[in-house]
Structures are given as structure tokens and as C-alpha cells.
Amino acid sequence: MPPYFSGRTTAYAARQPGGGRWWLVVIALVLVAGAGVGGYYSRSIFRNGNSRPDGNGDTPVQQDPVLTSGILVGNNDPLGGELEGVVFFNNGDYDQAIRWFDDYLSAGVQVPKADACLYYLGLAWFKRASPSEMSAAWKRLAEEFPRSDYTGRMLYDTSRLTPDPDERSRTLYLAWKGFSRTKEGKLAALQWADEAYDRYAGTETDYSKWDDIWAAYSIALDSVAEDAKQKVFDRIARVAGYLVLDPRGRPAGAYTVTVNPGDSISYIAHKNKVPVESIVRVNGLKSDVIQPGDELKIYPLRSRIVIDKKLFTLDLFVNGRFYKRYSVGVGQGELTPSGNFAIRHRVPFPTWHRGPDRIPYGNPENILGTRWMGFGHSGPGKSIGIHGTSEPETVPGAVSQGCIRMVNRDVEEVYDLVPSGTEVVIK
């Protein structure tokens, strides 16, 4: 749990999403939002000053046979039909919608689509300017359906309603943490990350928040407009670059080992199932020489590469998160194949096999640069892979015989973060 959360979020720390009753935090935030919204809207909007749209105060609404028959529109199909109460809501008849939802839910939350009913019931009460009733409906939604996508929508809406910036931040955090696969979860991730980055990565840097910022931006990336992605790329590069490449950075999954007498860096790499180069890179070492008593940062790697031939880009994902976008050169015409591959060979300072000739690294005719990561063949006897280049001016562009070329500085960074077996997707 991020350390800036208040004491009321201890329930979330104890039981993260996937573990259970984190809705206790949701309820608290919904109630706070309801109180805040009440500051903007009058609670005496209804007839006779009552809170019920039928003017009967706490008197239950009589069941209407028109509302209780044909519960779902669309041949009463509970999978594809739309609730009649939602139809009323979408048509702006909020009083009718409230009566319909109250009647429908009188049988309990076991009825089909009860989570949708509670969500729209809260919205209808909001439209009728009764934040206390809205909070009651959404509190029940959080209690009864903590995993429902409608709870995720409710959290996102709550963040938009609350006037308190700290409560907004907490609600956005819960929305993207618990519902990252949904549209609302991705929008919440982007808004939370933007605000958190400005707050914690600006003039007063606070690194303790950066791992969540990286995770949130990675989740949100698909929902970011193409012309706005560069800002997100730049922010991820700064945050992820510190977490992964600075010895002080501690991304999720990283840990520390102590070098014992007789340990070599290759032994530690093999024992922890990481490339030697990654240990050197993430610890800022100048060589692979280590001493007993040294504390080494270990960051297990599960990487993925996505190459876009039209954009001349290589996107590197590390442990499920977007890490960085690099410019690349690709093959002329259709020489670079599309499909799914895997890194099979990793070679530093590679020799170039040009037909029967072997051109060693350092020879001016060797165009492979400083690293080679082979993943397949483009034809008989023609290996294909990702490599550096002695011609950096050709990146980006379509100039190779099928391989993916990068400037040496970039290919060296990718090489250190990409173990054998890494998936390569070319599209």
C-alpha cells in the first residue's frame, strides 16, 4: 500500500484486490464523496421536502405491474438485454428509474444484474441531487459486488465527484488497482499517474511513489491518444529508468543478495536466473568483478519485445510493464517477417557471417555493432535478429536485409534487460 494513504485504508493494506474485503475502503471513499457533493447540490429539491421522488418520504413505492413484468428489454435476455430502469435513466426519467430500481431490488441482490441496478440507482439519485441516497446505493454496490465492473465504474465516478483532492487520488488509485482491465480503470490509471507524477516526480522528488506511477502509466498506455503518447513515454522512461537502472531503485520484484566468499557474478546470476549483464547494469557496475560483502540488487526479468515495422519502433516491456520505446531500422520491403518469435542467441561483440566469410567485431566491414540477439531465419542460411550498427544514420529506416538494427547505445540497454527466451512480436 502506498505510504501516503491515510489510516482508513489499512483494510486495503491487509487485503489487496484478489484477497477480499478491500471494499471497506471503497465504502469510506463513497461516503466522503457523497458528503462533498452535498455541498454543491440542494437536498430539498423533491416535492414537500422529501427525499423520495414520489413525495411519500419513507413510504415504500407500490409495485407497478408494468415495471415488474418484462424486467429486461430485448426478449427478456439477461445476457444481452438492457434493464428497463436503465432505459428510463437514459431517457432522463430519473424518478421513474429510481422507482423501477427500488422495486426490482426489493427481491434482494440475487436478481440478475443487481450490480448494474445499484450503479444506475446511484447515478439516478445523483441526477436528482440527493448525494446521501447516491452514497447509500453505491455503498451497497461495494459491499455486495466488490469485484463487479460496475464497482470500478462507481469508483471512477466517485473520483470525479469528490471535491477533496486527497480523496480523489485515493479513489482513482483503488479504481485502477482493482479494475485495470476496464475502460474506467485505464482512465483512472492515467489520471492518477499524471497527478502523482506532477506531485512526486517534480521539484520535490519522492521515489517511494514511483513504482505505482510506472505501473499506472503502463496500464493506461492503450487508452492514451497517439499524439499524447510521447509525454507518457518520456515520463515512463524517467521513472522506470530510475527504478530499474539505479542501484537504489526498487521496482516490484527486486531484492538484494549479499556476496559470499567464493561467489562469482556468474554464479549469482545462474543461482538467481538472471543474465550476468543485467546484474552489472542494474547495479551500475563498471565490470563483473565483485567482492565478498557487496550488496547486489537482483531484478528478475520477464521481458517482451514488440516491433512495429511501419513506425520503425521497438517497444520493450519488462515484467508486464512498458519500459521504453526505441527507434529501429527494419528490412527493405517485406524482408523482415511478421509473427511471433523468441530470442535464442545472445552474443556480445558479434562476428558477422556474410556468406562463407567471417568478419570479426572491430572490422570496419562488420555492420552488426556491439550486440546480437538472434530469433530466427529470413531464408536458407540467413539468420535474423536484433543488433547494433556501425551506421547509426540508417536508424530509423527500411534499409536492412531483414534484421532489426538499433544504435549501439540502445541495443546494449535492451540486451542487458532481455534474457534468452524473450518473446519478440513483429507486426
Q: Which residues are catalytic?
A: 387, 403
Report which DSSP code applies to 50.
-
Are 413 and 327 a contacting pair, CB within 8 Å?
no
> Which residues on neighbouring strands pair with residue 341, listed in sequence order?
424
Non-local CB neighbours of 334 within 8 Å, separated by 6+ positions: none
> Which residues on neighbouring strands pair with residue 385, listed in sequence order?
374
Strand extents, DSSP E, 70-197:
72-73, 82-83
CA–CA dist 182, 175 (Å, integer): 9
CA–CA dist 183, 153 (Å, integer): 9
> Which residues on neighbouring strands pair with residue 83, listed in sequence order?
72
Distances (CA, A) of 257 to 268, 274, 288, 366: 9, 13, 15, 39
Q: Write a three-state SS string for 217-281.
A: HHHHHHHCCHHHHHHHHHHHHHHHHHHHHCCCCCCCCCEEEECCCCCCHHHHHHHHCCCHHHHHH
Distances (CA, A) of 123 to 46, 132, 303: 16, 12, 42
Are 325 and 410 a contacting pair, CB within 8 Å?
no
